[in-house]
Structure 1
Amino acid sequence: MSEATTTRARKPFYAMLYVQVLAAIAVAIALGHFWPSIAVEMKPLGDGFIKLIKMVIALVIFCTVVSGIAGMSDMKKVSRVGGKALVYFEAVSTLALLIGFAAAHLATPGAGFNVDPATLDVKAVAQYAGKAKEQTIAEFLLNIIPNTVVDAFARGDILPVVLVSILFGFVLSHLGERARPVRDLIDAGATLVFGTINVVMRLAPIGAFGAMAFTVGRYGVASLGPLIKLVLLFYVTSAVFVFAVLGPIARWSGFSIWKFLVYIKEEILIVLGTSSSDPVLPSLMQKLERLGCSKPVVGLVVPTGYVFNTDGSSIYMTLAALFVAQATNVDLSIPQQIAIFAVAMLTSKGASGVTGASFIALVGTLSVVPTIPVAGMALILGIDRFMSEARALVNVIGNGVATIVISRSEGELDVARLQAVLDGRIADAEAVELPATVRTTEPASLPVQP
């Protein structure tokens, strides 16, 4: 690799994706504030961008997981990585629930509201309560198994696609050389899929503009009103979790959380603009591979983490639950608070990606404590959109950190490459644009080929 290639000229600042997204968000906020009626009409731009990304998410997961597992000779390792990831997810998300509880008790954001539940609009929450009761735990588990292989991709749900991908990868691994033509086809398909993702991501500024313009135009900053304390507390608590919990975990794993946040700055801004973590799933997986994490670990940890590792949603659920109790003057006993905590450990799973999923899960959680009026959720319905950005953002950061941690614990992380990319010795743009088809069952080594 030539010196000229290594030191490829950087793009002008206005051509960088994160600068374009940041500018689009700023314009969207201004449009939403001064011309709200026009801003609301921009919603299809955000929805269209998210749908474009979701269109290929299932293929991204399939190609990554199948290609990674097919290249592994030890299937016990797949089980070990999956089990280790689930234990990590449960431990960290439990910490997130506890932090939400602590923040609500220390700051008491609902104190002084003295809201009479009878005066609240029950109908506004009724539709969410209905959705919260639609699915039991048994149904959730059974829904992981698709009716057909095609159904897994047609539905677009993450877990059924992961299940199908693991089964395919397992079989291909056992077939050995006989399956090489199929593995080559899947690798070629990965090139096509990630190429499509790179093209669609160029539309991220338009998507972020449409989603943010709609949020500000529809709800307006003025809608925060007396609930600004809750919103600010949630953002501060989320920041505390990222730097006080994920920060030490990252440092223990050999990297700086600050440098990692800079590395995924485009994803951070897209999540903030669209209020959803789904649009950045493919690019996050791609960046983690470029960072030195092996393809099998990335393929297993990131998609399952989107369902089971919902740190931002966990903070939100306990904080918001106690806020509603405080605002409606409901004095919760210790057993009732434990019940909320225990149920939130279950209902928070799967509450990521889609805007509003956490609100539905919270309604389901409050339903188990009859003394808290579910109608009290109407208090935060109007500001939920402003908190969804932080929820999705913490979920994404948490899953990125989890993938690096699991990779390192499995010896599937190229530490030299990790440090080189985070320190800027390998250009960020080069790291993202590298081909995504090379199976990395062993830690990669420098230099990195473009």
Structure 2
Amino acid sequence: MSPAQVCGASPAPRKPFCAKLYAQVLAAIALGVAIGYFYPGTGESLKPLGDAFIKLVKMIIAPVMFLTIATGIAGMNDLHKVGRVAGKAMVYFLTFSTLALIVGLIVANVVQPGAGLNVGPASLDVQAVNTYAAKAHEQSVTGFLMNIIPPTIVGAFAEGDILQVLFFSVLFGMALAMVGETGKPVVSFLQALIAPVFKLVGILMKAAPIGAFGAMAFTIGKYGIGSVVNLAMLVATFYFTALLFVFGVLGAVCRYNGFSICSLIRYMKEELLLVLAPSSSEAALPSLMEKMEKAGARRSVVGLVIPGGYSFNLDGTNIYMTLAALFIAQATNTDLSIGGSILLLLFAMLPSKGADRITGAGFVTLAVTLFVVPTAPFVGMTLILSVDDFMFACRALTNLLSNAVGTLVVARGGRAG
């Protein structure tokens, strides 16, 4: 069964292949690769196309989140249901974030992608990672928690901070539910506003092929396909581990809940392609929320699980951090015991939370982990700097799939196994 059938959604009418968004995005990606490979200078100059598309999507994320979450919670007769949904979501996030770290730890120790490189830490250029080091020093538990509270209501929307918008939207939705009849005109207005806002999302998505073309042309033009050759083992191991997690761990959860991971991937192909080309999970957030609602998940579930997952359920990032840290240790011949690996796993959990809000998220969270657990030399991060962008897309795809699975699991009553 497909995810839509599981949750009771009716199938969408078929479109001609060339009129489908994912077909247009695929063609744009192929053209972008060709331009970047054969005309690298031109490819680099097309970066503004990808950046502009990301800005268009970010522009609409805050209102989509606010309307979906506030009206969803306001429509609940029992606010205890909000707590139950949030509780189930957090159990899912913590469980599968931990599983992602464990899978990465096992694969890294079995495959050992960094073994044999014999790199001396003293020979590496620490200047290349100084920017990430400074960002890593800025991260703290207190700072992260305090940043969830926006300085002003307008500030949360102006900055487009997902956690801050989520925080305000939940509180506002609960307040609307608590005032009862008095709040109904406000709820009716917000519900009426949903239709034009999602129509705007559809309009903006028509620009996705242009954004995909520009982003892919820039990536190939600047870094070149050959730049991954020397570190191909790390990149290949990361992609293998992500596939193992998606089709093994998430696939088992999907089967237990009555649908297959393959049907979910087919259902979400447009969102996955939106993430693949610009390498930004935010590009797919508005359409993902809409599609999960069409699949039959309640608006309140979608509004809590999807935005929350973007900050607390980053399985792809967790796999990346574990593999990257162990790769550095292996490449520099640093002895990392089982105890040290477990300690690394435990400390890697915290900095990954809210990582989507940091520029260069995966690299910064890796830096935080290496500062806290300095068993692998921090300077070894220069080894993976050149291929980090090639692994970012896979991180984002894995994060997106896990959050979609989590939404359907919570919507069906939390059968996570």
TM value normalised by structure 1: 0.88
Counterpart in the other structure of 1:278: 282
Structure 1 counterpart of 2:139, from 135, 142, 162: 135
Deviation sequence 1:406-447 (CA, Å, 0-9, x none)? 010169xxxxxxxxxxxxxxxxxxxxxxxxxxxxxxxxxxxx
Contact 2:150-2:164 within 8 A present in 1 as well? yes
Counterpart in the other structure of 1:161: 165
Task: Tell me whether 1:208 sits opposite 2:216 in the alignment.
Answer: no
Q: 1:371 Cα deviation (Å)? A: 3.9
Counterpart in the other structure of 2:325: 321
Distance 1:179 1:191, change over 3 A: same
Contact 2:67-2:194 within 8 A present in 1 as well? yes
Q: Partner amino acid for 1:391?
A: R
Counterpart in the other structure of 1:178: 182
Contact 1:246-1:257 within 8 A present in 2 as well? yes
> Within 5 A, what are the aligned runs for 1:347-358?
347-352=351-356, 356-358=360-362
Contact 1:35-1:217 within 8 A present in 2 as well? yes
Task: Tell me whether 1:65 sits opposite 2:69 in the alignment.
Answer: yes
> Within 5 A, what are the aligned runs for 1:12-411?
12-352=16-356, 356-409=360-413
Q: 1:348 Cα deviation (Å)? A: 1.4
Deviation sequence 1:4-39 (CA, Å, 0-9, x none)? xx9986322111100000000001111111110110
Q: 1:159 Cα deviation (Å)? A: 1.1
Contact 2:242-2:394 within 8 A present in 1 as well? yes
Counterpart in the other structure of 1:438: none
Q: Distance in 1 between matches of 2:257 and 2:288?
A: 19
Distance 1:12 1:328, change over 3 A: same
Q: Partner amino acid for 2:356?
A: S
Q: Partner amino acid for 1:216?
A: I
Q: Partner amino acid for 1:343?
A: F
TM value normalised by structure 2: 0.95
Contact 2:340-2:375 within 8 A present in 1 as well? no
Q: Which has the higher contact order (CA 8 A, sep 6+)?
A: 2
Q: 1:273 Cα deviation (Å)? A: 0.5
Deviation sequence 1:270-300 (CA, Å, 0-9, x none)? 1110111001001000000000100000000
Number of residues paired by the alignment? 406
Q: 1:349 Cα deviation (Å)? A: 1.2
Contact 1:352-1:395 within 8 A present in 2 as well? no
Deviation sequence 1:58-98 (CA, Å, 0-9, x none)? 11110000000110011111011111111110011100000
Contact 2:88-2:414 within 8 A present in 1 as well? no
Specify the SS of the correspondent of 2:188. Answer: helix
Q: Distance in 1 between matches of 2:371 and 2:300?
A: 39
Q: 1:258 Cα deviation (Å)? A: 0.5
**Structure 1, unaligned runs of 5 or more:** 1-5, 412-450
Q: Distance in 1 between matches of 2:374 and 2:175?
A: 49
Contact 2:315-2:398 within 8 A present in 1 as well? yes
Q: Distance in 2 between matches of 1:9 and 1:264?
A: 16
Q: Distance in 1 between matches of 2:156 and 2:16?
A: 42
Contact 2:139-2:368 within 8 A present in 1 as well? no
Q: 1:353 Cα deviation (Å)? A: 6.9
Q: 1:336 Cα deviation (Å)? A: 2.0
Identity percentage of aligned residues? 55
**Structure 2, unaligned runs of 5 or more:** 1-9
Q: 1:251 Cα deviation (Å)? A: 1.0
Q: 1:240 Cα deviation (Å)? A: 0.7
Distance 1:8 1:228, change over 3 A: closer
Contact 2:238-2:323 within 8 A present in 1 as well? yes
